[in-house]
């Protein structure tokens, strides 16, 4: 039986992926602001709305994690893998993620949050 419940894994992984998504959205917003687009507002608005949705989900994740005494720390990393340490209920679990997998998942999440932002606008 795993030490960390399976239902907690998505929240722990949110603490890996969502901050990455926010960082990318912030960098993209700055690029759109500085780029020579004739009409910047639609692009910036889309990025800001996506960021709002990510922040909302990140806030919910923080609340869940606090309630369940959970924490994620970034461990060692190299060109191929990044290690994360999950803490839950006094247990510690080390997981290694392929950097390509991390990038692909962040890209997938960006698409999801842009689609959400488009529906809300």
Mean pLDDT of 62-73: 95
Burial tier of 64 (Cβ tally within 10 Å: 0-12, 13-18, 19+): middle
Query: For residues 69 and 89, what is the distance between their CA atoms, to the nearest angstrom?
Result: 6
Prediction pTM value:
0.91
Mean pLDDT of 3-10: 89
Query: For residues 60 and 46, what is the distance between their CA atoms, to the nearest angstrom?
Result: 22
114 DSSP 8-state letter = H
Q: Residue 48's pLDDT is what?
A: 96
Q: Residue 22's pLDDT is what?
A: 98
For residue 2, pLDDT beyond 80: no
pLDDT band at 120 (very low <50, low <70, confident <90, very high): confident
Query: For residues 88 and 106, what is the distance between their CA atoms, to the nearest angstrom?
Result: 24
């Amino acid at each position: 039986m795993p030490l960390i419940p399976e239902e907690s894994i998505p929240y722990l992984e949110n603490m890996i992926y969502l901050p990455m998504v926010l960082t990318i959205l912030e960098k993209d917003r700055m690029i759109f602001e500085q780029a020579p687009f004739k009409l910047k507002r639609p692009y910036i608005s889309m990025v800001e709305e996506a960021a709002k949705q990510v922040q909302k989900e990140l806030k919910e994740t923080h609340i869940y994690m606090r309630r369940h005494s959970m924490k994620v720390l970034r461990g060692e990393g190299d060109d191929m893998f990044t290690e994360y340490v999950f803490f839950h209920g006094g247990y510690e679990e080390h997981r290694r993620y392929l950097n390509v997998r991390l990038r692909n998942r962040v890209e997938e999440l960006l698409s999801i949050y842009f689609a959400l932002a488009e529906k809300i606008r």
